[in-house]
Every structure is written in C-alpha cells, then in structure tokens.
Amino acid sequence: MGCAPSIHISDNRTLNHSDGEDEDVDVPGPAPRSRQRWSTAPALVEPQPRDSGATKVLVADVQFGPMRFHQDQLQVLLVFTKEDNQCNGFYRACEKAGFKCTITKEVQTVLTCFQDKLHDIIIIDHRNPRQMDAEALCRSIRSSKFSENTVIVGVVRRVEKEEVSLMPFLTAGFTRRYIENPNVMACYNELLQLAFGEVRSQLKLRAGNSVFTALEKSQEAIEITSEDHIIQYANPAFETTMGYQSGELIGKELAQVPINEKKGDLLDAINSCVTIDKEWQGVYHTQKKNGDSIQQNVKIIPVIGQGGKIRHYVSIIRVCNGNNKVETTTECVQTDSQPDNQAGKHKDRRKHSMDTKAVSSKASDVSNQRRHSSLARIHSMMIEAPITKVINIINAAQENSPMPVTEALNRVLDILRTTELYSPQFNAEDDPHATDLVGGLMSDGLRRFSGNEYVLATKNIQPPSNSMPTPTSLHDIPPRIAQAIENEEQWDFDIFELESATQKRPLIYLGLKTFARFGMCEFLQCSEATLRSWFQIIEANYHSSNPYHNSTHAADVLHATAYFLSRNKIKQTLDRIDEVAALIAAAIHDVDHPGRTNSFLCNAGNQLAVLYNDTAVLESHHAALAFQLTLENDKCNIFKHMERNDYRTLRQSIIDMVLATEMTKHFEHVNKFINSINKPLAAQGNEEIGRSLEDMKAMLKTPESRALIKRMMIKCADVSNPCRPLEHCIEWAARISEEYFSQTDEEKQLDLPVVMPVFDRNTCSIPKSQISFIDYFITDMFDAWDAFVDLPNLMQHLDDNFKYWKGLDEQKLRSLRPPPE
C-alpha cells in the first residue's frame, strides 16, 4: 500500500497514544477560592465549595482503541426553580465527588449558561410542571449543536401508582430519570454511575469525532462496511475514487466485484482470510459509478466487535496507476488488536500467502464450498437486473426480521417473481364490466384456431375518386370548413362539426392547420404539398366504416395532443423533436384499424397476429404501415430531407409513442409516470427527500423522463373522451359501444371466444361500461397528468360526465340518454 501520511490527533484534554498500562488518575476537586456570595443574577448560582472533606473520585484514563486521554473535572448543571432538599442533595454530592457544580433557578438563562460552560451532566427538576416545563427545556438544550454528548437527567416524583412508559420522557431528550431522593449518598451514587457510565461513553464518542476527522482528510480511500457488507462510512477520497457524490453510498451495498476470469476464486480467497480474523491484501478490478473499470490495491481488515464476532470490515484502497503492472495475487495477513501505523511492519506479520488456484483446488474437494463458490459467482455478476437487486435486498432483510415481517416479505417476493407486475387482478363478481374491459383491452386473447380466419378488409387504400377535393393550401378551403376549424386551439373544439363539414375527412384539414401552427414543415424541411399528400394517404387508410376507430378519432387525438403541447409545463420540458414526434404519432396511431381488438385478431388467427406474434399486434401494424406508406412514395415522404441521425431519433420516438397506446402496458406506463415524475415533483418542497429546482428541471429533461411524458401524453389524448364536453362524451360512448357490439356479434357468428361478454347489444348497460372505464382506466391516469400539466377544465368535464353516467345507472337505465320528459 505504500507509506500513508502520518496523522497526529490532539486536543486540550491531553490525548496520548501509548502502549503502557492504564493508570489511576486523581481527578482534583475545585481549587479553594476566596469566599463568594450568590451571583448578583438571581437565576445563576455558583456556590462556594465547602471544606467538608470531599471524597474525590479516582477516575482512570479513558481508553478508546489505541487512544488514551485524560478525563477533565466533570461539570454539573443543576436546574431547580427553588433550592430544596433535593437540590442541596445533588450539590453536596457534587462537592463530595469533586465535580464542579453550577445552579440556575430561571429557565431563561439555562441555555446561555450551558453554552458558556458546556456541562457534562445537566440535572433538571421534572417534579413541578406548573413551575417549569422540563421536557420543553430539555428539547431546547438538545436543539443546540453542543449538547450531542451531554447527559441530561430528569428528577421525578416518587409515586405509588402503576409505572408508565418512559418513551415521552426519552423522546424529549432525557438520558435517564432519577426518582427523587435527597439523601446525599444516593445522589452521590447516581453521579458515580453517570461518570463511569454515560459520561465516559460520551467522552469516547467525542474522541471518535477526531478519528473521523482524520479519516475525512486522509488521502487513502477508506470504506467501512457492516458484517452484512452494507456501507456505513466512506471517506471523500473513496467517494471521489468511485465517482459518487457525498453521502450517496451510505446504507448501500457497493458491488466491488472483480472482472477477471477467477472472480469466484478471488472471493473465496478473501472470505477465507477475513472469516478467521486475518487481513486480506491484493489487487483486483472493480467498476466506478459511470461503469469505468479500475484496478485497485485493496486491504480488507475485519474488526471484532460485540460477542467476539466480526462486526465491521475496513477497506483501505489505492488505485493502481497505469505504470504498475501488478499480478492479481492474494495474501492473508494476521491482524493485531493494535494496528501498526508503519506500513513496513506488515511484512513481518505475514504468515503465508496463497494464490487463487490454491484456493480453487481446496474448494473443489468440498461440495458445500463449491456451492458457495457458485453462489458467489452469481451474486458477483457485473450485469445485474434491477429486479434482481430488489429481490436480493429483500432476502437480506428477511434474515434478522421477526416472523410476521418475514412472511410479509415472502408475499412481496411472490408478487415480484410474477411477470404481470403492473396488471391489476379483478374479481369478476365485483365488477363484470371492469373485468371484461381489462380482459378485452389488456390481453392478447385466447388462442383458439377454428379455421375461421379474420382478414383485414382493406390495406393501402387509395383516395376514392369521388371524395371531396383535397385543399391545395390552408387559404383554399370551403367557408364551412374554415369556420369549423376556427377555434381548434380550444379544448371544447367540436370535432363532429368538422367531421360533418369535411364529409368524414377531418384529419387532413385539422392536420394541416395544426402542423402549420407548430412549424412542422420547417422542421421536416418538406413542402406543404408533400405534407398535404402525406395526410391524404394516411387518412385514406383509416376505415370510415368503423364507428369509432376512424379518421375522426385520429383527428380528435391529434387535437388533444396539440392542446397538451401548448401547455406551459410541456413546452418547458419537451424538445422541438419531441413535439414533432408527438403530432405525427397522434395522426398515425390507429391507421388501418379494423374496428376489432387485439384479442379478437389473436383468437381469429389473423395474419397480423401471426406476423407480430400476438404481441401489440395493431399498434405494431399502425406504426409499420404509416412508415411504409410514407417512405414508398416521394410525393408524400415528409422525412425525405431530414438528416439520418435526426430521422432515426424521430422515428424511434414516433414508434415508442404509438406502441404506448397498447392497453396491456397501461398500468405500467401510468405507474412509471407517477413514480418517476409526479412523486419527485411532489417531494420538491420537502428538504429531506426533495430535489432542488435545478435538479428537477434537469431530471425532467433527461431522455427517460421525456419518453415517459410523451407516452403519458398520447395515452391521455387517445382516451380523452370522458374529459370532453358532455355531448361529445356521449357521442364517443355511442360510437365505441357500437364497435364493441359489432365485435361481439362477429365473435358469436364465427364461433370465437367472446372477449367482452358485457358488450352484448341486447343486454349491455352503456352507463355501467362508462363508469367502469372511468374508474379503472381514466381517473388515476388523468389525476396524474393533471398534477403535472394543470388541466382544471378537463377534470371538471370528467367529474360532470361521471356524475351523468352515475345518474343514469342509479335510474337503472342502460341507454345513452334518459327518456324524454
């Protein structure tokens, strides 16, 4: 390891580092002084010591590891509102023991007196709460940074009734209580117990601060771990070496794992040394926080603690520089209870050295050791999934936990080992509508191939020849359409009026105006004619025959996405390329939708289900077809002039957003958004767990956070119908219900499994289905989105619409509207 800088610790208590035997030291009482009167300040009294043959306490020097230091004359502060027998008893006991004693009568002067003299022991009268609030006074003293090592005793009355808990007493900051007894010898014995017990322990803790100061300033990287290898201390040199921030490692297990081929053998070599109270010294590789590999010269020293067992490990680390070619060998070094500061002496204490091959050959003879070596390799894997780390932490926590905690953690582990961590489990008896919705929207169906294959009716549709003429520009559109898209920036925009005015072609008109508002052509470096052709081919591939999943729905989602992008929080967070990706994703997210769910396609053995392996079938098809239609014809290729890297980034973002609309990952996306975005923002005002404003801004700007925000945005836009004005909400409910009714009809006709039985047009309650949809999918998601974006008007619509559906259900109505008056 080389010679470390020498460190000398001293203070005004005459601290020594000696190998000699402990000696008894006569701690003198206060020196005789001229006769004093009571202090002119009535609150503070420092009586003159009486010449009454005081029995001076002989106190040995305090030993703290290899350190020895002399204990000064103890100072005692008595806090009594009046001088009674108990006060006098403690004063005379202090005199007998040779302790310096100060008496104060007024609460207001206690803190000032303590900060002036820093007493070792404070005794507070706790018997008269009306005259003095002893617990408040104790808390006041404890709030001072100087009171950390002070012993505070509360004098309480002797009562005959049943004992009560001392927890409030201890919580206030008292060290212990003293049941009133004015007998001088009783007070004297109490002081002796304090002097040889709590006071001496506190004195050692004060000395410990000196040791930690030396560690903090040491140039050696030093780490102290518990017997369970949890980091309890790491000095700044260690944190700098490993690339961590101050305090970031405390309480964590740092995986210092070698990356050479013999990592399992090396772990065995280390364990074989430290478990028999020997140092291990050698060279191995480890990873810094940023993933960089470094070679280290390491010495691991076991520390024996309570019960004669190893309670801590001290690791002293020095990074090997590039010029030192050191072989990876291991050495066991016998440790002494008194470590030597001179590095050269370590060589004299070495018993033997071993290499990793010797350890490996010995371990191969014993099956238990071989199993331990295998486990060591598993636990030392450099590539470890986060869920594996979580399970390992829970397993470690179970070892010393009581039985109820262990059983609860077992249930946690059972849940974590399942694959569907984010999908809720429903009881069909509780809410059949919710169960059908979740089952139909969040599963890929039952594989049942009956020979009846369902094939998409249309693909790559070209614009019909008799359709309304495509606008050549935004200035060349019919007046009715211009009026219909006039207020497209408002949330209450009427998409159905635009659908009627455009003869079911709202996407191209709303799209051109929205894209122009966001400067899409400038970013994509494409002409308005190219963009117009692109919208034309995309809209042509939406099925106008679908009641719900048609180009009107696409236009509605595009409108909602543009509205969200115009909110301040989103504008401050997302980049320009994120806006472009979001608008394109919204326009294409359901292109060529057949009006049937993924479960239906999987059950029918549809060609798309086969192509995409029954996984995110429609969402994968929407994204793939949109890019296929765009790239196969230069006239509508809006990406033609983009730089390659920009295009790849934009493409990945679009695909990610379209795939996020798949409902099987609904709860996963929502929960990740809440845990990664909402909760850190909510904790921002909490100084203990919150982040600074600058840290939060930086966190929101990371690619991971922006991806979560974009997914959440298109998900909310995709199912925003319950947050629209009531009449719009009712119309969307009618359309989606009809599409589900049609699917149920076809499933029965083709003898396929009915994935949503409640959507039978003869028995379905539309209000119940809307209530369930809002309860299980909408409320939590929009609460989280509103908390981030601030959307009071949407949340008001959601409340109003829920009350509307609830009212119909309470009237036992199954229809969209109540009967006429």
| Dist. CA 492–CA 172, nearest whole Å | 58
Dump strand ranges (E) for 305-418: 310-319, 330-334, 350-354
Rounded to whole angstroms, the Cα distance separating 119 from 165 reads 28
Residues 6+ apart with CB under 8 A from 416: 387, 390, 391, 394
Tokens for 661, please give them. 């609309």
- Helix (H) or strand (E) holding 377, with range, is helix 367-379
The tokens describing 403, both together, are 């039985």
Which letter does DSSP use for residue 737 in this model? H
Nearest alpha carbon to residue 470 among 495, 498, 502, 496: 502
d(CA 24, CA 31): 20
CA dist 501 and 586 (Å) reads 22
What is the number of other CB atoms lying within 10 angstroms of the CB of residue 779? 16
Catalytic residue among 433, 549, 666, 669: 549
DSSP secondary structure letters along 159-203:
--S----SHHHHHTT-SEEEE----HHHHHHHHHHHHHTHHHHHH
Cα-atom radius of gyration of the chain, to the nearest Å? 38
Q: How far is Cα 207 from Cα 66, in angstroms, rounded to an integer?
A: 12
Reduced to 3 states (helix: H, G, I; strand: E, B; else coil), residue 567 is: coil
Side-chain half-sphere of 132: how many Cα atoms within 13 Å?
23
How is residue 636 written in tokens?
A: 């509508």
Residue found by looking up tokens 């989606």 in the block: 736
Of 251, 253, 301, nearest to 277 by C-alpha is 301
| Number of Cβ atoms within 10 Å of the Cβ of 689 | 10
Active site residue 666: no
Give percent helix, percent strand, percent coil of the chain, each to the nearest 5. 50, 10, 40
Residues 752, 447: Cα–Cα separation, whole Å: 10
**What burial class does residue 323 get, using C-beta atoms within 10 Å of its C-beta: 0-12 exposed, 13-18 middle, 19+ buried?**
exposed
Contact 602, 609 (CB under 8 A): yes
**Contact (CB, 8 A) for 520 and 531:** yes
How far apart are the C-alpha atoms of 747 and 759, rounded to whole Å?
Answer: 11
Report H helices in 218-305: 236-242, 263-274
- Helical ranges in 197-345 per DSSP H: 198-217, 236-242, 263-274
Sheet architecture: strand order including 15-17: 15-17, 67-69, 62-64
Q: For 752-800, give the DSSP string.
A: ---S-TT--TTT--HHHHHHHHIIIIIHHHHHHHHHHH--HHHHHHHHH
CB 521 within 8 A of CB 709: no
Burial class (CB in 10 A: 0-12, 13-18, 19+), 587: buried
Q: Which residues pair with 286 in a beta bridge?
A: 294
Q: Please state, in angstroms and rounded to a whole number, the distance separating the CA atoms of residues 314 and 550.
A: 67
Structure tokens at 211: 């040791």
Catalytic residues, by residue number, are 549
